[in-house]
Chain A
Amino acid sequence: EVQVVESGGGLVQPGGSLRLPCAASGFTFSSYWMSWVRQAPGKGLEWVANINQDGSEKHYVDSVRGRFTISRDNAQNSLFLQMDSLRAEDTAVYYCAKNRGTGYPRPGPPDYWGQGTLVTVSS
């Protein structure tokens, strides 16, 4: 059974940092793009970042580029999101997701999602 499980959320002050790990199981982790998607309270979904199979290609939404870093450890079947210089507008549930394969060197849509972890940025 495919599973992705996020952790690491919590309350952090503006300007602070937080690292979100995501543990994956039930599939060949090193064969798939992975993504982070967030959802602010009462709002819609926002794609945050993705990373290719070997970690050589990473992409970010403009609002987090330069502050957030996506990474992966294929030996440990783990995905990470390092969040620095956090702002109040980064408050959201953060989802880790496996991307569907496409047969092309590009990610498919997220097909397996974690339950989400809440990050609250507030003083």
Chain B
Amino acid sequence: DIQLTQSPSTLSASVGDRVTITCRATQNINSWLAWYQQKPGKAPKLLIYKASGLESGVPSRFSGSGSGTEFTLTISSLQPDDFATYYCQHFDTYSTFGQGTKLEIK
């Protein structure tokens, strides 16, 4: 089974900071990776599909990169609305999520 490991688990940052979250897969998943943002009590929101594709309506400060086993989500300049938990997901007939990264205000 493919497993995804996100790092860090918690990230403290300030408005305006550039932040990067990493997701590592236990085997090659090509570009079949997505990133989500989730706020408390809400459903996840798709940000990035197929490793680097920006979902419609998502601000351009979000970007994704990587392929194979290592992927990153970058937020170029943090905004107050960005403090949330972020998940990576390998999507396929069998799917799995990373454990999540909580982005907190420093």
- Judged by a CB distance under 8 angstroms, whether A21 is at the interface is no
B89 touches A109 (CB 8 A): yes
Interface centre among A44, A107, A109, A110, by most chain B C-beta atoms within 10 angstroms, is A109
Summarize B's interface: helix, strand, loop or mixed.
loop
Contacts A45-B100, A109-B34; is A114 near B93 (CB within 8 Å)? no
Looking across the interface, which residue of chain A has its beta carbon closest to that of B97? A45
Expressed in whole angstroms, the minimum distance between the Cβ of B2 and any Cβ of chain A is 11
CA distance A57 to B44 in the complex (A): 25
A116: chain B residues at CB < 8 Å are 43
Expressed in whole angstroms, the minimum distance between the Cβ of A91 and any Cβ of chain B is 17
Expressed in whole angstroms, the minimum distance between the Cβ of A33 and any Cβ of chain B is 9
- Judged by a CB distance under 8 angstroms, whether B92 is at the interface is yes
Contact of A107 among B43, B91, B100 (CB under 8 A): B91
A109 touches B99 (CB 8 A): no
- Judged by a CB distance under 8 angstroms, whether B78 is at the interface is no
CA distance A110 to B38 in the complex (A): 13
CA distance A31 to B19 in the complex (A): 37
B93 touches A47 (CB 8 A): no
CA distance A45 to B96 in the complex (A): 9
Interface string of A86-123 (1 = CB under 8 A from B): 00000000010001100000111111011110000000
Contact of B44 among A50, A99, A100, A113 (CB under 8 A): A113
- Judged by a CB distance under 8 angstroms, whether A78 is at the interface is no
